[in-house]
């Protein structure tokens, strides 16, 4: 049984005010800041993503574990201080409570951010790419906890699909097994992060943020647990086609195998190798898609607020 009063959950003044006023809020993860993007672009991007959400009339809530508390919403200086700490752990479902109890600083993955968002009553979350089934999972068993979290925690996650460092067909199969709606936004193809088209068709497609919000509400009313994955393709001007990235992905994977990288270290290792291999290009694309996902998430969150405010029409007097 969840007892929110016993959980050290600290909302920033801005997020607390937004909650009280029932304004739209969008959660943001911090593993992308601490383990996904290089400095100094990581902090610049975090700020730019928050600005996109504000520009759409919503409030950003950046999530992290700091000083023994789950923090929902960080001031700019707090985030900079947090990101500069030594040994920030990458926290997923398994580690979140341990880090809070032990006072370890930690950034939240997609799975952990969904858990924290739900605790804070936030229903929409924007990120870049979700974790998934790694290539070779049939022997390594490396499947991100993000997938099961999508199956059990009622948060809509806006991401540009998943990176092709993963096994995308297997990732889609597992999401289907788990009953997670995978909704391509505005196109038929499942996007592959830097590329708009993974070559795979997404199981579902919606073209409007309002439709995503309606489905989110309907799932709750039907008592269906879990969230939904909204796969938003990178803006066309910024995309890097798969053919250009594939060789870099292959060599990053080979390097990970040679160096014996496993478990939590796999995703950050591959990400850093690909940024290095593509120079600025993949980083610019990464920033563009994060901003674009933040805008879409803000619109979905605003649409949810609008749905909740819609009262049934007054009865016709006779
Ligand atoms: N994919 C990206 N960038 C990221 C991540 C994934 O393109 O920064 C991060 C996210 O926080 C995601 C996590 O939840 O990595 C998945 O890690 P793992 O595969 O260890 O579950
Ligand atoms: Mn893993």
Domains annotated for the chain, with CATH where assigned, are: 9-309 (3.40.1790.10)
Atom 2 in ligand 1: residue holding the nearest Cα? 129
What is the enclosing helix (H) or strand (E) of 154?
none
CA 17 – CA 314 distance, rounded (Å): 31
Nearest-ligand number for the alpha carbon of 159: 1
Residue 128 beta carbon below 6 angstroms from any ligand 1 atom: yes
CA 42 – CA 32 distance, rounded (Å): 8
Residue 310's pLDDT is: 85
Ligand 1 atom with the shortest distance to the CA of 107:
11
Residue 25 three-state SS: strand
Active-site annotation holds for 29:
yes
Residue 315's pLDDT is: 63
29, 106 Cβ separation under 8 angstroms:
no
180: closest CA among 209, 215, 134? 215
Maximum CA pair distance of the chain? 79
Residue 31 beta carbon below 6 angstroms from any ligand 1 atom: yes
Ligand 1 atom with the shortest distance to the CA of 111:
14
DSSP readout, 103-133?
T--EEE-HHHHHHHHHHTT--EEE-S----B
CA 192 – CA 182 distance, rounded (Å): 13
pLDDT by residue for the chain (318 residues), tens only, comes to 567 779 999 999 999 999 999 999 999 999 999 999 999 999 999 999 999 999 999 999 999 999 999 999 999 999 999 999 999 999 999 999 999 999 999 999 999 999 999 999 999 999 999 999 999 999 999 999 999 999 999 999 999 999 888 999 999 999 999 999 999 999 999 999 999 999 999 999 999 999 999 999 999 999 999 999 999 999 999 999 889 988 999 999 999 999 999 999 998 999 889 988 988 788 999 999 999 999 999 999 999 999 999 856 566 665
| E strands, the chain, in order | 9-11, 25-28, 59-66, 69-72, 89-91, 106-108, 124-126, 156-159, 182-185, 189-192, 195-201, 204-206, 228-231
Neighbours of ion ligand 2 (CB under 5 A): 142
What is the enclosing helix (H) or strand (E) of 12?
none
Residue 271 beta carbon below 6 angstroms from any ligand 1 atom: yes
Residue 312's pLDDT is: 63
Question: Best of 45, 96, 140, 146 to mutate for ligand 1, by most ligand atoms within 8 A of CB?
Answer: 146
CA 66 – CA 39 distance, rounded (Å): 20
Ligand 1 atom with the shortest distance to the CA of 37:
8
Q: Which residues pair with 10 in a beta bridge?
A: 71
DSSP 3: -
Atom 7 in ligand 1: residue holding the nearest Cα? 129
Residue 286's pLDDT is: 95
Residue 143 beta carbon below 6 angstroms from any ligand 1 atom: no
Residue 11's pLDDT is: 98
- Name the catalytic one among 56, 163, 239, 264: 163
pTM equals 0.95
Using the mean position of ligand 2's atoms as its centre, give its distance from the Cα of residue 79 in Å.
25
Atom 17 in ligand 1: residue holding the nearest Cα? 131
Using the mean position of ligand 1's atoms as its centre, give its distance from the Cα of residue 143 in Å.
11
């Amino acid at each position: 049984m969840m007892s929110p009063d016993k959980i050290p959950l600290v909302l920033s003044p801005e997020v607390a005010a937004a909650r009280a006023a029932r304004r739209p809020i969008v959660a943001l993860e911090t593993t992308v800041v601490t383990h996904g993007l290089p400095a100094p672009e990581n902090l610049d991007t975090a700020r730019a993503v928050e600005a996109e959400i504000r520009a759409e009339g919503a409030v950003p809530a950046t999530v992290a574990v700091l000083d023994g508390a789950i923090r929902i919403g960080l001031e700019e200086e707090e985030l900079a201080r947090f990101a500069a700490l030594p040994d920030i752990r990458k926290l997923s479902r398994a580690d979140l409570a341990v880090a809070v109890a032990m006072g370890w600083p930690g950034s939240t993955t997609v799975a952990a951010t969904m858990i924290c968002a739900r605790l804070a009553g936030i229903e929409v979350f924007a990120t870049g790419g979700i974790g998934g089934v790694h290539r070779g999972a049939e022997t390594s068993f490396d499947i991100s906890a993000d997938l099961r979290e999508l199956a059990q925690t009622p948060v809509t996650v806006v991401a540009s699909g998943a990176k092709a460092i993963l096994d995308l067909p297997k990732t889609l199969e597992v999401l289907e097994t788990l009953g997670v709606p995978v909704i391509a936004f505005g196109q038929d193809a499942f996007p592959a992060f830097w590329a708009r088209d993974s070559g795979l068709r997404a199981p579902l497609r919606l073209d409007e943020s309002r439709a995503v919000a309606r489905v989110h509400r309907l799932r709750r009313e039907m008592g269906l647990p879990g969230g939904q994955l909204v796969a938003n393709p990178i803006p066309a001007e910024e995309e890097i086609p798969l053919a250009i990235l594939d060789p870099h992905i292959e060599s990053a994977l080979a390097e990970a195998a040679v160096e014996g990288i496993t478990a939590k270290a796999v995703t950050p290792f591959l990400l850093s190798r690909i940024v290095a291999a593509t120079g600025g290009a993949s980083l610019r694309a990464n920033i563009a898609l994060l901003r674009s996902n933040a805008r879409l998430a803000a619109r979905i969150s605003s649409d949810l607020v609008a749905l909740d405010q819609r009262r049934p029409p007054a009865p016709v007097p006779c």
